[in-house]
Amino acid sequence: MKIALLTWFNNENYGTVLQLTALSDYLTTNCGAQTEIINYLPQEAHSVSKRETLGDHLAYRVMQTALKKLRKPQPNITENIKSQYPDALQIKKNRFHSFLQQLAFTQPLCDISSLEECVNNYDLFVCGSDQIWNPRILNRVFYLDFVHGVPKISYAASMGVNYIPRYAEKYIRDYLKDFNAVSLREETCRQALEKLYQKPVDVVCDPVFLLSAERWEAFTADVPLYKEGNYILNYYLGDSPVHETVFDTVSRLLELPSHTLPSSKPALQRSTEEDIAAGPAEFLSLVKNASFTVTDSFHAVCFCLIFRIPFCVIYKHSERDPFNQNSRISFLLKKLKLENRIVSCAEDAAAAVATPIDFDEAHRLLAPFIKHSKEYLDRNVTK
């Protein structure tokens, strides 16, 4: 069987690349398929017009725009890194490129006609995982709208937000009408999506959980860095001031050095060129060998669970934000009865440091979810 896999891959994000790697590896190794990744870079012309999305929580958008104008302008962290560490940034770019070279990609396919021309080359199309179904983007290509006459399924596609906006319903209903099976990564939009799909929707685990810790370790075999362990990994994608408070608390209590993957000015001041240059394999090694991880990253949490690394996690977005993407973290940790790892102040962080994680119990609770997810793939890939 020849499978075409469609998801994000080109934004140099650790979680994005690793979830793609996991799903491709599982389909190839465990389902016996020849898997190719559709080399598609998102085009604005393939998404719903931004004018259609403007009415969604308009009052909140206006308020946030006004507050942004009143705040003191923040330095552009990306530009700071580019100017201060151009060599490290190039190494990181090269490492992402090299890591992706392990996977099989099609030739670049950037317009609908070229995508349609490739359809009959495959026996099955799979879209997912990651937030490719986020209704604020609503790109028809990630809903496999160009695929006709060949079976198509989703695996752990994520809506990102907690609801499906009204403007998106008519599009999603149309996009899903000829899917053979649909699965989401989070429970939040399941019922709403079932009303549009008119069939049951599965909830399955993120692809990174499809591979064992030993399989992930194999991807770090050629990484000499971080083997010494005994450090705190500090990695976050948002700019919440709470993160600095939490990290400072954890650092004070554990009295360990840190490795910081920067996304803010304070984080950049803690980073080394070695940290900035980390690619996907280095990221895996950083998590695997850490003594403790402080993060707001969903996939960092996933790998802490896989490698049994103590952690605490901060929500990247305010719960008051109607577009917040916190559900993926809360859904996973609630399933594993680890909600106490979600922290929002120094006291929470201190409690997380003092309270060990029962990883045996977490893995026991996770096992049926992984089993169900593999059965979903095995059932729908081997049809």
SS (H, E, C) 331-378: HHHHHCCCHHHECCCHHHHHHHHHCCCCHHHHHHHHHHHHHHHHHHHH
Q: Which of 43-47, 114-118, 321-325 has the highest mean pLDDT?
A: 114-118
- Give the pLDDT confidence score for residue 223 in this predicted structure: 84
The predicted model gives 254-263 an average pLDDT of 90
pLDDT at 72 over 70: no
Tell me the per-residue pLDDT of 140-188, one tens digit each, with 9 for 90 and over. Answer: 999 999 999 999 999 999 988 888 888 899 999 999 999 999 999 999 8
The predicted model gives 224-235 an average pLDDT of 83
- Give the pLDDT confidence score for residue 45 in this predicted structure: 78
SS (H, E, C) the chain: CEEEEECCCCCCCHHHHHHHHHHHHHHHHCCCCEEEECCCCCCHHHECCHHHHCCCCHHHHHHHHHHHHHCCCCCCHHHHHHHHCHHHHHHHHHHHHHHHCCCCECCCCCCHHHHHHHHHHCCEEEECCECCCCCCCCEHHHHCCCCCCCCEEECCECCCCCCCCHHHHHHHHHHHCCCCECEECCCCCHHHHHHHHCCCCEECCCHHHHCCHHHHHHCCCCCCCCCCCCCEEEECCCCCHHHHHHHHHHHHHHCCCEEEECCCHHHHHHCCHHHHCCCHHHHHHHHHCCCEEEECCHHHHHHHHHHCCCEEECCCCCCCCCCCCCHHHHHHHHHCCCHHHECCCHHHHHHHHHCCCCHHHHHHHHHHHHHHHHHHHHHHHCC
The predicted model gives 50-78 an average pLDDT of 58
pLDDT at 302 over 70: yes
- Give the pLDDT confidence score for residue 61 in this predicted structure: 46
Instruction: Judge contact between 164 and 192, C-beta under 8 A.
Output: yes
- Give the pLDDT confidence score for residue 268 in this predicted structure: 77
- Give the pLDDT confidence score for residue 70 in this predicted structure: 60
State how far the Cα of 56 lies from the Cα of 223, in Å rounded to an integer. Answer: 46
pLDDT at 90 over 70: yes
The predicted model gives 29-50 an average pLDDT of 88
Q: For tokens 């709403």, what's the residue?
A: 192
| Residues, the chain | 383
> Which range among 213-222, 263-272, 327-336, 371-380 shows the weakest confidence by mean pLDDT?
263-272
- Give the pLDDT confidence score for residue 80 in this predicted structure: 79
Q: How confident is the model at residue 238 (pLDDT cuts 50, 70, 90)?
A: confident
Average pLDDT over the chain, rounded to whole? 89
Tokens of 173: 């209903």
State how far the Cα of 218 lies from the Cα of 35, in Å rounded to an integer. Answer: 20
Tell me the per-residue pLDDT of 322-373, one tens digit each, with 9 for 90 and over. Answer: 555 677 898 999 999 999 999 999 999 999 999 999 999 999 999 999 999 9
| Cβ contacts of 249 within 8 Å, gap of 6 or more | 346, 349, 350, 353
**Better-scored residue on pLDDT, 214 or 323:** 214
pLDDT at 60 over 50: no
Tokens of 245: 């408070």
- Give the pLDDT confidence score for residue 252 in this predicted structure: 97
Tell me which residue of 371, 246, 142 sits closest to 258, measured CA to CA: 246
